[in-house]
A and B are shown apart, each in its own frame.
Chain A
Amino acid sequence: MSPILTLDAVQFGYDPAKPVLQDISFQVHPGEVVAVVGRNGAGKSTMLRLLNGLLRPGSGRVTIAGKDAADLKVSEIAAHIGTVFQAPEQQIFNATVRSEIAFGPAQSGLSAEVQQCRIDAAVQRTDLGEVLDTHPLDLDAAMRRFVAVASVIACQPDLMLFDEAQRGLDATRRALLGRIIAEEKSAGRAIVLVCHDMDFVAAHADRVLGLAEGRLAVDAPVRDFFADAEATRAVSVEQPGIVELAQALGQPVAVNAAELVATLAKKLKGGA
Chain B
Amino acid sequence: MALIEVDHLTFAYDTRPVLEEVTLAVAPGEKLAILGGNGSGKSTLAQWIAGWLPRGTFAASAGGVNIEGRPWDELDDATRAGTVQFVGQVPMQQLSGFAFTVRDEIAFGPGNLQLPEAEIRARVDAAVAACNLSHLLERDPFSLSGGEQQRLSIAAALAMRPRALVLDEPTGNFDPESRDALLAQMAKLPAELAIVWCDVTLGVPLAVAQRFVLLDAGRIAYDGDAAGLLAHPRTAEIFGLPAVAEAALMLRAQGLWPEGAAISADAGQVAAVLRPMLAEAAR
Query: Which residues of A line the B interface, CB within 8 A?
Result: 39-40, 86, 140-143, 167-175, 196, 199, 202-203, 238, 240-242, 244-245, 248-250, 256-258, 260-261, 264-265, 267-272
Contact = CB atoms under 8 A, between A and B. Distances in A.
Contacts, number: 118
B268 A248 contact: yes
B239 A170 contact: yes
B267 A245 contact: yes
B278 interface: yes
Given A171-B237, A248-B267, A242 B243 contact: yes
Contacts of A171: 37, 236-240
A242 B244 CA distance: 5
B38 A271 contact: no
B282 to A, nearest CB: 6
A141 B37 CA distance: 12
B238 A241 contact: no
Contacts of B43: 140
Nearest to B39: A140
B176 interface: yes
Q: For chain A, what secondary structure do more than half of its interface residues adopt (helix, strand, loop), or is it mixed? A: helix
Interface in B249-282: 250-251, 254, 256, 265-268, 270-271, 274-275, 277-278, 280-282
Contacts of A271: 278, 280-283
Interface stretch (B60-68, B167-175, B205-213, B221-229): B167-175
Contact of A257 (B172, B243, B274, B281): B243
Interface of B: 36-39, 43, 89, 169, 172-173, 175-178, 200, 236-240, 242-244, 246-247, 250-251, 254, 256, 265-268, 270-271, 274-275, 277-278, 280-283
Given A168-B169, A173-B38, A248-B268, A240 B243 contact: yes
Contact of A241 (B89, B243, B277): B243
Given A268-B256, A269-B256, A170 B37 contact: yes
Given A199-B243, A245-B271, 20 more contacts: A40-B175, A168-B169, A170-B239, A171-B238, A172-B237, A203-B243, A238-B176, A240-B243, A244-B268, A245-B244, A248-B268, A257-B243, A261-B247, A264-B251, A268-B256, A268-B278, A270-B281, A271-B278, A271-B281, A271-B282
A142 B39 contact: yes
A167 B173 contact: yes
Contacts of A143: 38-39
Contacts of B246: 257
A200 to B, nearest CB: 11
Nearest to B169: A168
Nearest to B199: A168
A117 B265 CA distance: 43
A269 B283 CA distance: 12
B263 to A, nearest CB: 12
A171 B277 CA distance: 31
A118 B278 CA distance: 51
Nearest to A169: B38
Contacts of A269: 256, 281
A155 to B, nearest CB: 25
Nearest to A241: B244
28 contacts: A40-B175, A40-B177, A40-B178, A141-B38, A143-B38, A167-B173, A168-B172, A170-B36, A170-B240, A172-B38, A172-B238, A175-B240, A199-B242, A245-B270, A248-B267, A257-B243, A257-B246, A258-B250, A260-B247, A264-B251, A264-B256, A264-B278, A265-B251, A265-B254, A267-B282, A268-B281, A271-B278, A271-B283
A244 B271 CA distance: 9
Nearest to B243: A242
Contact of A196 (B175, B200, B244): B175
A86 B283 CA distance: 52
